[in-house]
Amino acid sequence: MNAMDVTDSDFQTAVIDRSYEVPVVVDFWAEWCGPCRQLGPVIEKAVAARAGKIELAKVDVDGSPGISRSFGIQSIPAVKAFRDGQVAAEFVGVQPPLMVERFLDGLVPSEADGLIEAGDEASLRRAVELEPTRAEAIVPLARMLHERGELDQALELLQRTPGSFAADGLAARIGIERAGQPDLAAAWSALDAGDREQALDILLGALPTADGAKDDIRRVVVGILDELGVDDPLARESRRRLASALY
């Protein structure tokens, strides 16, 4: 597909709305801009090589001052990539072809991304083969193994992604379950049923008398909070309770 010439009047439809279906890269340029003429063909060739996985729009800043002001364009060439209606990545100035290739590659879902989205066991196993430390594939696959009682296999997987709080939390849960105490069966049942609020309430309530299991419970709680996200009201309240129980 050739680059689209987009103006103030059709930017919403051609770029913002379209970016919900496919990433759209916008090249802000002007006829008088020499560096723009250098960069333009590089981007066009790289986008064309991706055969419809990315679309390219060109905005003449002189002809579309409204859009240029809206996105704070102060120097050209300026390139902004839109995905799901938002700016997902950007750069300013002429860049070498390799950098442009990497920029575009970051916008296109990888094979592992698609497999993770599918979410079945075979897909997750293939995603782990492709990206052996990818937490988004490892954690759900380890959960499946845990549910089947294949605990050693689950732990082996979880050890591959030490930076993941979710993985660390699941590993800590397995450790508590194997030890047999404290008895947190009610918390696990709530967590497996998707009732994170109930699970957190039980886990946090168990901390004061948990003795040697305190750190493992803390790790489980932190894993749940990480999945909730920093802005979740339950996560904010639970972090406060966790700090109070520990310190």
pLDDT tens across 135-150, in order? 999 999 999 999 999 9
> What residue numbers bound the domain in which 42 lies?
4-105
Q: What is the CATH number of the domain that holds 131?
A: 1.25.40
Residues 168 and 219 in one domain: yes
Residues 100 and 117 in one domain: no
pLDDT of residue 155: 97
pLDDT of residue 231: 86
Count of domains forming the chain: 2
Percentage of the chain exceeding pLDDT 90: 77
Average pLDDT over the chain, rounded to an integer: 92
Among the listed residues 15, 24, 25, 36, the single catalytic one is 36
Question: Looking at the predicted structure, is the pLDDT value of residue 1 above 60?
Answer: no
Question: Looking at the predicted structure, is the pLDDT value of residue 230 above 90?
Answer: no
Domain's final residue, options 59, 74, 105: 105
Q: Which two tokens stand for residue 71?
A: 């996105």
Instruction: Enumerate the β-bridge partners of residue 59.
Output: 28
Catalytic-residue membership of 36? yes
Check if the beta carbon of residue 75 is closer than 8 Å to that of residue 93: yes
pLDDT of residue 195: 96
Among the listed residues 24, 33, 47, 221, the single catalytic one is 33
Residue pLDDT, tens place only, 139-179: 999 999 999 999 999 999 999 998 899 999 999 999 999 99
Residue pLDDT, tens place only, 59-74: 999 999 899 999 989 8
Catalytic-residue membership of 227? no
Residues 146 and 78 in one domain: no
Residues 154 and 200 in one domain: yes
| pTM of the entire predicted model | 0.65
Residues 98 and 154 in one domain: no
